[in-house]
């Protein structure tokens, strides 16, 4: 996650009923003898867990259960994120980088940002790299090419089924140089419909198949997100990250929205100047609209 030479001390936080299982995870981490793992703190105390952390990966949240309304789960999670924001605000390192994974990820990140005002807003992000990697995977399968040869897809917006996976700027490395994905796929009907819905609904498809939410791919993409943020994106590549909107691409400022970004010296920058066609514009606005509604709902849950 932090490159091949950076030692880490892991701080793991869970709720008291999970303390024993958490200790089991700690035992396994010790047993794995990871050369870069210099220490493990397993705790049910948010203060102990948050003290001096440099990178916080927020995976905790209340899952939606049968019979629960969206508002019920939103209400539980925004209160969790409000209190975790306070713990990070008071105890984490001042330049702590935060990645929110738990759903509703964008809105949880927004609440965390609002209630941890001393953490710079550029350091609070949410995970859409999972969706980005899913889009790369779909293109790689469709074209029977190595996934590492596909680049610069974009996930716009919310980590939800309104997200917009966009291939209009994506390319594939071929023997004849880089070629646009659209030119190679030669099927705009698929790219504008089935491809988009497959990526949008991949999380639900995995839950249906596994009876559990994504785990390996989510963890791997969280590593990718932090690694590229800290160690930089390779030249000519961008990735998707949920970040605080500054109004780029006419997305309302004040939302945590997924944009294409490049990273350098530990900072992300939104890729500017990409052409947005009419089809894409509608999709960018639709997912922004959903995030605006989530924001209002989240605030109503906190009042």
Minimum distance between the CB of residue 292 and ligand LMR, rounded to whole angstroms?
20
Q: Could you tell me if 41 and 9 are in contact, meaning their C-beta atoms sit under 8 angstroms apart?
A: yes
Interface positions with ligand LMR (CB under 6 A): 103, 130, 203, 206, 213-214, 218
Which is nearer to ligand LMR, 96 or 127 (by Cβ)? 127
Closest residue to bound ligand LMR by CB: 203
Measured distance CA(32)–CA(21) in Å, rounded = 17
Q: Which is nearer to ligand LMR, 179 or 210 (CB)?
A: 210
Closest approach, Cβ 105 to ligand LMR, in A, equals: 7
Flag whether 133 is marked binding: no
Asked if 159 is an active-site residue, the reply is yes
| 102 among annotated binding-site residues | yes
What is residue 119's DSSP assignment? S
Annotated binding residue 168: no
Pairing of strands 124-126, 150-151: unpaired
Q: How far is the CB of 151 from ligand LMR (least distance, A)?
A: 21
CA-only gyration radius of the chain, Å? 19
Q: Find the shortest distance in angstroms from Cβ 158 to ligand LMR.
A: 11
SS3 label, residue 109 = helix
Rounded Cα distance between 1 and 7, Å, is 10
Question: Which residues have CB under 8 Å from 165's CB, separation 6+?
Answer: 131, 134, 135, 153, 154, 155, 195, 196, 199, 200
Q: Partners of 258 in the beta sheet?
A: 157, 242
Q: Which is nearer to ligand LMR, 132 or 283 (CB)?
A: 132
Is 14 annotated in a binding site? The answer is yes
Rounded distance, CA 169 to CA 151, Å? 9
Q: In angstroms, what is the minimal distance from the CB of 220 to ligand LMR?
A: 12
77 is in an annotated binding site: yes
Sign for the CA dihedral angle at 12, 17, 20, 24 comes to negative
CA separation for the pair 196, 96 (Å, rounded): 34
- The annotation status of 101 as a binding-site residue, yes or no, is yes
Q: Which is nearer to ligand LMR, 74 or 271 (CB)?
A: 74
| Euclidean distance between the first and the last CA atom of the chain, given in angstroms as a whole number | 37
- Nearer to ligand LMR by Cβ, of 193 and 213: the residue is 213
Q: How far apart are CA 31 and CA 126, in angstroms?
A: 31
Element (H, E) at 90: helix 70-91
C-alpha to C-alpha distance for 57 and 10, rounded to whole angstroms? 11
The residue (of 163 and 171) whose beta carbon lies closer to ligand LMR is 163
Beta bridge partners of 41: 11
Shortest Å distance, C-beta 298 to ligand LMR = 17
Question: Residues 11, 91, 132, 159: which is the catalytic one?
Answer: 159
- Please indicate if the annotation marks 103 as binding a ligand: yes
Q: Residues annotated as binding site for substrate? A: 64, 70, 103, 134
Task: Give the residue numbers marked as catalytic.
Answer: 159
Q: Residues annotated as binding site for NAD(+)? A: 14, 77, 101-103
Q: Residues annotated as binding site? A: 14, 64, 70, 77, 101-103, 134
């Amino acid at each position: 996650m932090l490159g091949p030479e950076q030692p880490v001390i892991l701080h793991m936080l869970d709720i008291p009923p999970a303390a024993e299982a958490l200790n089991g995870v700690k035992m396994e981490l010790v047993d794995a003898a990871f050369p870069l793992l210099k220490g493990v703190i397993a705790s049910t105390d948010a203060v102990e867990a948050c003290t001096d952390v440099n990178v916080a990966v927020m995976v905790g949240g209340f899952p939606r259960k049968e019979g629960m309304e969206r508002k019920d789960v939103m209400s539980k999670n925004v209160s969790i994120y409000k209190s975790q924001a306070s713990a990070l605000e008071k105890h984490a390192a001042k330049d702590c980088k935060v990645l929110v994974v738990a759903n509703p990820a964008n809105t949880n990140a927004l609440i965390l940002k609002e209630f941890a005002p001393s953490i710079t807003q550029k350091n609070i992000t949410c995970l859409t790299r999972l969706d980005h990697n899913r889009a790369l995977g779909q293109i790689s399968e469709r074209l029977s090419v190595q996934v590492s040869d596909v680049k610069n897809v974009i996930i716009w917006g919310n980590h939800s089924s309104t997200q917009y996976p966009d291939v209009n700027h994506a390319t594939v490395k071929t023997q004849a140089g880089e070629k646009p994905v659209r030119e190679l796929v030669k099927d705009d009907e698929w790219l504008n419909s089935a491809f988009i819905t497959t990526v949008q609904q991949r999380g639900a498809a995995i839950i249906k198949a596994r009876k559990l939410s994504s785990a390996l791919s989510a963890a791997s993409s969280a590593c990718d997100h932090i690694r590229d943020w800290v160690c930089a994106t390779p030249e000519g590549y961008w990735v998707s990250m949920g970040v605080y909107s500054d109004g780029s691409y006419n997305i309302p400022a004040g939302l945590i929205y997924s944009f294409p970004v490049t990273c350098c010296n530990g900072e992300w920058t939104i890729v500017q100047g990409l052409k947005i066609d009419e089809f894409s514009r509608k999709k960018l606005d639709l997912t922004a609209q959903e995030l605006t509604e989530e924001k209002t709902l989240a605030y109503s849950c906190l009042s």
